[in-house]
Amino acid sequence: MRRIFFFYGLICYLLSVLTVFYLVGFVTNTMVPKSINSGVYTPVWYALLIDLGLLALFALQHSVMARRGFKSLWTRLIPAPLERSTYLLLSSAALLLLVWQWRPLGDVLWDLRGTSWAPLLISLGWLGWLLVFSSTLLLDHLGFLGLRQAYDQLRNRETPPPEFRTPGPYRLVRHPMYLGFLLAFWLAPVMTLAHFLFALGMTAYIWLGMALEERELERSFGDSYREYQRRVPRLIPVPWRWLPAEAMAR
């Protein structure tokens, strides 16, 4: 059974990685057959209804299943080492459903192709994706995507609890992964109404997710995390807050 559980965790891990790579192509309108601005056009009211429903389903699944109370109930039904893998499996399913059923809206809010702004926006957008992937690698990529837990149960050992660490960009902002997503979603040379709706919905979810996540991090790490909150901003780097207290006093 431990081998079956590990194989399950490995499948969920690979599916999660592939889903995120598809999301990159979906948002950037490259490399994938179905992107944010492609598909069958339908009446605007119908497209808005479908797209908003898909965004709400994705946000609800992510927010509810990530909470500690839900996890305590959920692990009565599934083995604890597979909780993270199952969460990511369902998250991938919700995201794939979104990109599959997403309805395009043809109105263009801005089109900066051919201007000096386009290369800058494209570069910053790809920088956002780089920040997303590097953020998971700097902390615990395998644990974040559930594979470490599945491997530990294969080796018949306990997965150690997460440690509070602030490597790299975590010293500048508390949520570099969310910052990367915001850069990737918003900084596009062409912004259609469908893209704007997607970015707006994801921004609302990110804002809610940050608040809920920080509440649980406070419970887990206590004063250490509260001091981190006092010292490091959520999303926007503030240079003077990087200075030690004695330097600020001078």
* Structural tokens at position 146: 């559930």
- The per-residue pLDDT for range 204-232, each reduced to its tens digit, is 999 988 988 899 899 888 999 999 999 99
Residue 64 within a domain: yes
Q: What percentage of the chain has pLDDT greater than the value 70? A: 95
Flag whether 90 is in a domain. Answer: yes
Closest CA relative to residue 207, chosen from 169, 185, 234, 237: 234
- Residue 248's pLDDT band (boundaries 50, 70, 90)? very low
Count how many domains the chain has.
1
pLDDT greater than 90 at residue 127: yes
- Residue 249 counted as domain residue: no
Q: Quick check: is 173 in a domain?
A: yes
Classify residue 241: in a domain, yes or no: no
- Tell me whether residue 246 is in a domain: no
Identify whether 250 is part of a domain.
no
> How far apart are alpha carbons 109 and 128 in whole angstroms?
21
Domain that holds residue 96: 2-236
pTM of the model: 0.89
Cα gap 111→106, rounded to integer Å: 12
> Does residue 248 sit within a domain?
no
